[in-house]
Amino acid sequence: MKRLLPSTLFAFTLGLSASLLAQTADAGNWDTLQPDRDQVIASLNVVELLKRHHYSKPPLNDARSEKIYESYLKLLDPARSYFTAADIAEFDRWRTQFDDFLKSGDLQPGFTIYKRHLTRLAERLDFTLGLLEKGVDSFDFERDESLLVDREKAPWAPDKAALDDLWRKRLKDEVLRMKIAGKEPKAIQELLIKRYRNQLARLDQTRGEDIFQTYINAFAQTYDPHTNYLSPDNAENFDINMSLSLEGIGAVLQSDNEHVKVVRLVPAGPAEKSKQLAPADKIVGVAQANGEMVDVIGWRLDEVVKLIRGPKGSVVRLEIIPAGNAPNDETSKVVAITREAVKLEEQAAKKSVLELPHEGRTYKLGVIEIPAFYLDFKAFRAGDPDYKSTTRDVKRLLSELKAEKVDGVVIDLRNNGGGSLQEATELTGLFIDQGPTVLVRNNDGRVDVLADENGGTYYTGPMAVLVNRLSASASEIFAGAMQDYHRALIIGGQTFGKGTVQTIQPLNHGELKLTLAKFYRVSGQSTQHQGVIPDISYPDEVDTQEIGESALPEAMPWDSIRPAIRPEIDPFRPLLNELKARHDQRTAQDPDFVFTRNRLDLSRQLMQETTVSLNESKRRAQHSSIESKQLAIENERRKAKGEELLTKLKEEDENTLPLADDKNKKPEDDAYLAETGRILLDYLSLRASVAKH
């Protein structure tokens, strides 16, 4: 990753206002937590760097101050369950002043709010432990009451009594979930007491650096979700991740209220190969090999990552709540994953041949699966003539498929999170004569055009590109170019929408990762936020409201600039309606397509529920109803495929897509891949029919 030269440190004063210093008096063990000189300098540098180098360069003014304030409150109290309305009324006087505080290096308001948060959190944990000491059987589960679970826009609690009632209900909900999951009262009580005591003990470990990082990130992330401040410790962890010198499980994680959520799996990484983890799964516990499971609910993301990371070859056990569960169903399962490095050869492009009957004969279609856009930089720079790269491997595979006389090619980019921009450009060059491949607009408005300058097209035959929500970044650049040049049919799901470029800027204290450029397709459309919209869409495999750029707060918008190529006649457009009609007719009863649609529909219905009953009989009935619906969806698929029906949903079935790429399965068994091949064959026959007329 390119690193900008460090900016010159500029002059500053430590002139913190006496009135604000006087307002920091929240009693407790945290009074000693104060901003230091290095943090003040770093904050001033962050302000200046964002002003000079961020792509959109929005002004740091009163409107930005309100965003910072709201962002900070959301980071500290996302469910509005710690602060009271009186706390918020007190903080509100600063609502439009955070721009002034940051410009002057005054960090005290940020520290004051955080320390109040620590005080309120300690009060809540003490209160909850007090309830637990009375025993979980003291709850009346026959009482007809409910809990609001979607509290993002709930009013702030008017007083301590209201918070007490909210936390009593929250605890009752936790106990009820565990009872329904089959845990005994004694085990529930022990687990929850341990969880809350651990959280209370960890509050005392809070450092000034924790406060500074949270506050500056609340500021930085109002610009866009990929602009982050990294503390010195986290900057070191980031460098470790980039060099892969310490092993993990190959999963991209993010904070999700009190949980840590899986965003995507690294292709050919340990988690992806295990088939036990999926996007939107929540990690609630981490254990080393056969060691004790550590409850990580309420932990910071960086602390959870440290637990998951470890020596190559060692085993980490994760307790997860599968993504397919109802919002308040915390039925969990434990998965074991062996840590290892992601090997370049395992990410290499692979080929297979899809044989499909169509209009009285069997056709052969070449499939090239590209898990990532890789380039062996070390071998490339050393001048090794046999260095590995995506383009080189795909070129070789295309040559082999040509020799097998395939009738067309499908490029499979599902779950490809990106990689080398150079490779996305060079791969595009295999399928077009020559011309622009992607545009990069910088923060000064300059547009750089990356292009394939080699004349000639390596593969001229018919093509389809298969994408899904987890196809991101370089994948979107390649798919977008294929669509804009009308070189291939784009089929599948709307892609991730990551169309921005980041760089790392070293600071005197930590580092700043900031967005300084944006990708645009040769048609002038951004890949940001919207991603690539397929010509023919498949049902979503993951909920796009949960996963994708548009699901992130403050995501930069989609826009467009002047195109780099003149639009040519689109050979697909006249045939799209007929292709869609045939696709719809085929998949209306296809068991795998029906399964995916029904499963996501149920998940979205469950996500609409904003309250849950705390009455045990009602809750058990609801839980049973959800399980029955999930079982019916699974059995509908099994019946249509002639498989044995289940009487109970097995744990491994709860979160398994029907399209999992089992190595023993043939490409024809992959419903989405096979349907992509059929659409391509439909296109070939329709094109031939049009040509005859």
| SS3 of residue 216 by DSSP | helix
- Decide: helix, strand or coil at residue 616: helix
Question: Could you list the active site residues?
Answer: 473, 484, 498
Q: Is the Cβ–Cβ distance between 250 and 342 less than 8 Å?
A: yes
Q: Which amino acid is at 565?
A: I
* 383: alpha, beta or left? (left if phi > 0; alpha if psi -120 to 50): left
Place of tokens 């593969």: 459
Question: Whole-angstrom Cα distance, residue 262 to residue 487?
Answer: 34
Q: How far is CA 548 from CA 75, 188, 327, 465, 470, in A?
A: 20, 35, 19, 19, 8
Q: What is the SS3 assignment for 627-672?
A: HHHHHHHHHHHHHHCCCCCCCCCCHHHCCCCCCCCCCCCCHHHCHH
On the 0-12 / 13-18 / 19+ scale of CB atoms within 10 A, 69 is: buried
Closest by CA to 407, choosing from 454, 357, 346, 441, is 357
The DSSP bridge pattern shows strands 146-148 and 611-613 to be antiparallel
Alpha helices in 413-519 (DSSP H): 421-429, 474-484
Helix/strand/coil for 139: coil
CB atoms within 10 A of CB 668: 14
**478 touches 431 (CB < 8 A):** no
Which of 472, 473, 349 shows the shortest CA–CA distance to 409? Answer: 349
565 token code pair:
């190529």
Q: At what angle do helices 591-607 and 671-692 cross, to 10 degrees?
A: 120
Q: What is the DSSP string of 297-325?
A: TT--HHHHHHHH-B-TT-EEEEEEE-TTS
Decide: helix, strand or coil at residue 353.
strand
User: Is the Cα torsion angle 80, 83, 85, 90 positive or negative in sign?
Assistant: negative
How many residues comprise the chain? 693
Helices (H), 54-96: 62-76, 85-91
For 594, half-sphere exposure in the C-beta direction (CA atoms, 13 angstrom radius) is: 17
Integer angstrom CA distances of residue 121 from 128, 132, 217, 578, 685: 11, 16, 20, 59, 66
Q: Supply 439's token pair.
A: 């545009």
Instruction: Tell me the C-alpha distance between 34 and 264, whole Å.
Output: 37
The backbone torsions φ and ψ at residue 445, rounded to the nearest 5 degrees and listed phi first, read 90, -10
Residue 56: which residues within 8 A CB-CB, separation 6 or more? Answer: 223, 224, 443, 515, 556
- Burial of 270 per CB tally in 10 Å (0-12, 13-18, 19+): buried
- 117: tokens are 């948060």
Fill in the DSSP letter of residue 246.
Answer: S
Left, alpha or beta for 493 (phi > 0: left; psi -120 to 50: alpha)?
Answer: beta
CA-wise closest residue to 216 among 38, 52, 12, 11 = 38
**Stretch (H or E) spanning 448:** strand 447-452
Name the DSSP class of 346.
G
The two tokens of residue 509 are 């204290």
